[in-house]
């Protein structure tokens, strides 16, 4: 039977479940954003890297187009329901993180689901997000160790969270979440 190009109810329900779960955790994570952004700027990449989880888990479980972007959007809506002050940040993170994850998947024609593809996507996301935040936080004014740490953690943070997401997604697959 050929695979449908339409997102099935099952796929949308899995996206919703992952989005709600990660959105709730993200709302709880909001305090760490404030702490890192105001007092520990070099660590902000590690904190912000958490936002790769919705898309990584959804893509690892479902291995289908659009699931990263849909799941990120749901996670952002859940997060902003609990922390409205972060609405813009959540929606921007959903667009950027989900968009890069979908873009890298599309470049591989949604055929490669090996860990290297997820890790590449997260590293690219870290670089894409680090560049504007480098200027927003005036990182060049930090001591050299702070600027180096900022750059490294903006790449390594999303990569580390991707490893967590791959483990969670793999466990969900083994639990039978994707059974037809």
Q: Token match 């954003």: residue?
A: 33
pLDDT tens string 110-153: 999 999 999 999 999 999 999 999 999 899 999 999 999 999 99
Altogether, the residues listed in the chain come to a count of 180
Q: What's the pLDDT score for residue 1?
A: 39
Q: What's the pLDDT score for residue 3?
A: 54
**Segments of the chain with pLDDT less than 50:** 1-2
Helix, strand, or coil (residue 175):
coil
Q: Which tokens belong to 71? A: 């799941």
Q: Which tokens belong to 16? A: 């919703």
Q: What's the pLDDT score for residue 68?
A: 96
Q: How far is CA 74 from CA 81, 98, 153, in A?
A: 11, 11, 26
């Amino acid at each position: 039977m050929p695979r449908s190009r339409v997102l099935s109810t099952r796929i949308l329900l899995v996206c919703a479940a992952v989005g709600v779960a990660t959105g709730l955790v993200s709302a709880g994570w909001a305090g760490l954003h404030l702490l890192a952004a105001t007092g520990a700027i070099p660590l902000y990449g590690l904190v912000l890297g958490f936002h790769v989880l919705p898309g990584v888990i959804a893509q690892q479980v479902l291995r289908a187009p659009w699931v990263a972007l849909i799941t990120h959007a749901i996670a952002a809506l859940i997060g902003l329901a609990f922390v409205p002050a972060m609405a813009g940040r959540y929606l921007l993170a959903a667009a950027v993180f989900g968009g890069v994850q979908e873009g890298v998947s599309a470049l591989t024609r949604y055929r490669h689901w090996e860990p290297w593809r997820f890790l590449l996507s997260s590293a690219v996301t870290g670089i894409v997000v680090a560049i504007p935040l480098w200027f927003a936080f005036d990182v060049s004014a930090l001591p050299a160790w702070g600027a180096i740490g900022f750059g490294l953690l903006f790449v390594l943070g999303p990569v580390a969270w991707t490893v967590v997401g791959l483990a969670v997604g793999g466990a969900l697959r083994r639990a039978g979440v994707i059974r037809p």
